[in-house]
């Protein structure tokens, strides 16, 4: 059941009034039932995997908590009888058992994700190596890949890690925990919520509030506009460019690069707008996942503003633990002795950065283009950090430059250009081809296609280009308005006629200019695949 399907709209039309009509204490139960109904449309087999993840992580968290409570009770009751060595030995045994439950749940669920998502990737690479030595070939396997498996697995594992660390006690109720795992708006493409941020709101009673519902529906409508009017229309041109690399090179690669950046933004943020809007309509606040990333002045800032919940997940659960791990501390000691204190202390940080970005890349997709994309992001960040002293000296010498609008604009354009270039690996899905096509920007560059009608050969007519352009300008305008605060709150303060005009205009645009019907097919959101 895609967010862009009429079936999903009907699903929401039934759920919303029912949610506020049932007794408030039953609202969370209705959400749980609705979430599993929604997920069942992706295939009944998918329910098995999300159920396994839910049950195993819930049970392992309870076992870890029981062990911790038993330890506290045991040590308190025998406070005077036990020596410090006895206490230390007992704590070590309990810690070992907790670690056992933690690792069992962790390996099981990451194992499921790895098998379903990466088996064929492994087979392809094994076959490639085998072919070099004249060996046989393994057959690819047909495996079910549940919708959003990366999202709910990472969200649940985050909960497991937090319970293991003692951040909060585990949820005793399996159905209540199941709602946290399966909450349907975010199953498709996130955000990757933390338990203590999301679960309390899911379990609260939510009386009907006109303002809350209105704000939520406005956000949903805005998401549909970005997805169906802008993203799915631009996708047509992007698909044409990357589908015929022998025809579309040079400036077409540059155009495709920028169009894909805009299409990806409109698609992903549109989906997140729908997710957050639906949750808000149900009275459930969800963490923001984007904060105007294309206004970023450098790549580090960009990743603090793009897919925020994913970035913080990898930071908190991979980068920080790896950075302070015993192997990294050993490497830090050796690198300081070999390279000096300044450079040496940065080596383990950079190694952790590359490992984190490798994990980020492989999370995005089971192919080398995503791995290379992830590592290149890490390399660019490292280079940026190494160049920081040069930037600092430049601004010390020319203090007025950094305060100018031109310099800030240069930084924003530079970051947008760089991120668009890296995203080319996502477009062509082939590493050598990507570098070859990007190279043609410099070797076969010509501006002629901009006015000789070639752009009209990409599947979009003049009207489509106008609609897409106006849509992008509208997104830019909204982003600029967001710097003054919530646009929905600004609209609320506007005259009633203006509010209705905006709502009618967006609805009209989605219905009339949405990319569906003859010649179009509303595609699923890009991050469904993850």
| Segment 77-111, tens digit of pLDDT | 887 788 888 888 988 999 999 999 999 999 999 99
Q: Catalytic: which of 206, 364, 392, 395?
A: 364
| Segment 195-236, tens digit of pLDDT | 999 999 999 999 999 999 999 999 999 999 999 999 999 999
Answer for the pair 273, 189: CB distance below 8 angstroms, yes or no. no
Place of tokens 């970051």: 415
CA atoms in the 13 A half-sphere facing the CB of 211: 5
Q: What's the pLDDT at 447?
A: 87
pTM over 0.85: yes
Helix axes 251-281, 431-443, angle to 10 degrees: 120
Which one, of 99, 68, 92, 94, lies nearest residue 161 by Cα? 99
| Start-to-end CA span in the chain (Å) | 16
201 in catalytic set: no
Please provide the DSSP assignment of 42-69 as one string. T-HHHHHHHHHHHHHHHHHHHHHHHHHH
Which one, of 502, 483, 480, 504, lies nearest residue 493 by Cα? 502
Local confidence band at 517 (pLDDT 50, 70, 90 cut-offs)? very low
Q: Residue 400 in 3-state DSSP?
A: coil
Cα(472)–Cα(465) distance, integer angstroms: 10
Alpha helices in 225-340 (DSSP H): 232-243, 251-281, 299-305, 308-314, 320-323, 326-339
| Segment 411-441, tens digit of pLDDT | 999 999 999 999 999 888 889 999 999 999 9
Place of tokens 């940080």: 349
Average pLDDT, the chain: 90
Contacts 24+ apart (CB under 8 A), 202-207: 202/28, 202/31, 202/176, 202/284, 203/28, 203/176, 203/179, 204/283, 205/24, 205/25, 205/27, 206/19, 206/20, 206/24, 206/27, 206/282, 206/283, 206/284, 207/20, 207/24, 207/283
- Judged by phi (left if over 0) then psi (alpha if -120 to 50, else beta), residue 307 lies in left
Q: Residue 131 in 3-state DSSP?
A: helix
């Amino acid at each position: 059941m895609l967010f862009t399907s009429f079936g999903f709209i009907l699903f929401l039309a039934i759920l919303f009034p029912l949610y506020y009509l049932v007794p408030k204490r039953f609202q969370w139960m209705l959400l749980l039932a609705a979430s599993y109904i929604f997920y069942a449309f992706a295939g009944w087999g998918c329910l098995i995997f999300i159920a396994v993840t839910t049950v195993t992580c819930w049970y392992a968290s309870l076992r870890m908590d029981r062990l911790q409570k038993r330890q506290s009770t045991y040590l308190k009751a025998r406070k005077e009888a036990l020596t410090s060595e006895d206490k230390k030995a007992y704590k070590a045994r309990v810690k070992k058992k907790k670690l056992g439950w933690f690792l069992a749940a962790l390996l099981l669920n990451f194992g499921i994700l790895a098998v379903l998502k990466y088996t064929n990737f492994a087979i392809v690479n094994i076959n490639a190596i085998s072919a070099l030595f004249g060996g046989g070939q393994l057959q690819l396997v047909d495996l079910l890949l549940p919708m959003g498996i990366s999202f709910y697995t990472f969200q649940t594992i985050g909960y497991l890690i937090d319970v293991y660390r003692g951040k909060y006690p585990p949820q005793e109720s399996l159905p209540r925990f199941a709602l946290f795992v399966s909450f349907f708006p975010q199953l498709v493409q996130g955000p990757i919520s933390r338990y203590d941020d999301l679960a309390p709101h899911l379990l609260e009673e939510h009386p009907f509030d006109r303002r809350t519902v209105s704000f939520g529906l406005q956000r949903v409508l805005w998401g549909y506009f970005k997805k169906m009017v802008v993203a799915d229309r631009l996708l047509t041109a992007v698909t044409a460019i990357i589908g015929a690399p022998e025809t579309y090179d040079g400036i077409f690669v540059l155009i495709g690069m920028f169009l894909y950046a805009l299409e990806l933004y409109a698609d992903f943020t549109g989906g997140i707008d729908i997710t957050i809007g639906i949750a808000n309509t149900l009275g459930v606040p969800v963490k923001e996942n984007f904060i105007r990333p294309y206004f970023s002045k450098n790549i580090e800032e960009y990743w603090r503003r793009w897919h925020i919940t994913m970035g913080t997940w990898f930071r908190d659960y991979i980068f920080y633990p790896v950075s302070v791990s015993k192997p990294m501390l050993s490497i830090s000691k050796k690198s300081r002795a070999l390279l000096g204190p300044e450079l040496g202390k940065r080596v383990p940080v950079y190694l952790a950065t590359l490992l984190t970005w490798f994990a980020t890349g492989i999370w995005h997709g089971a192919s080398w283009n995503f791995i290379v994309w992830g590592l290149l992001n890490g390399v660019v960040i490292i280079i940026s950090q190494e160049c920081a002293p040069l930037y600092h000296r430049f601004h010390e010498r020319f203090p007025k430059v950094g305060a100018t609008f031109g310099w800030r604009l240069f930084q924003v354009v530079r970051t947008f250009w760089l991120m668009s270039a890296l995203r080319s690996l996502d477009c062509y899905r082939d590493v050598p081809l990507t570098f070859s096509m990007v190279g043609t920007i410099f070797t076969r560059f010509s501006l002629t296609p901009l006015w000789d009608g070639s752009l009209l050969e990409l599947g979009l007519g003049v009207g489509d280009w106008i609609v897409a352009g106006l849509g992008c300008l509208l997104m830019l305008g909204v982003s600029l308005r967001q710097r003054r605060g919530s646009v929905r709150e600004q609209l609320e303060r506007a005259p009633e006629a203006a509010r209705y005009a905006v709502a009618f205009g967006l609805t009209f645009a989605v219905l009339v200019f949405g990319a569906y019907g003859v010649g179009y097919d509303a595609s699923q959101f890009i991050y469904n695949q993850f």
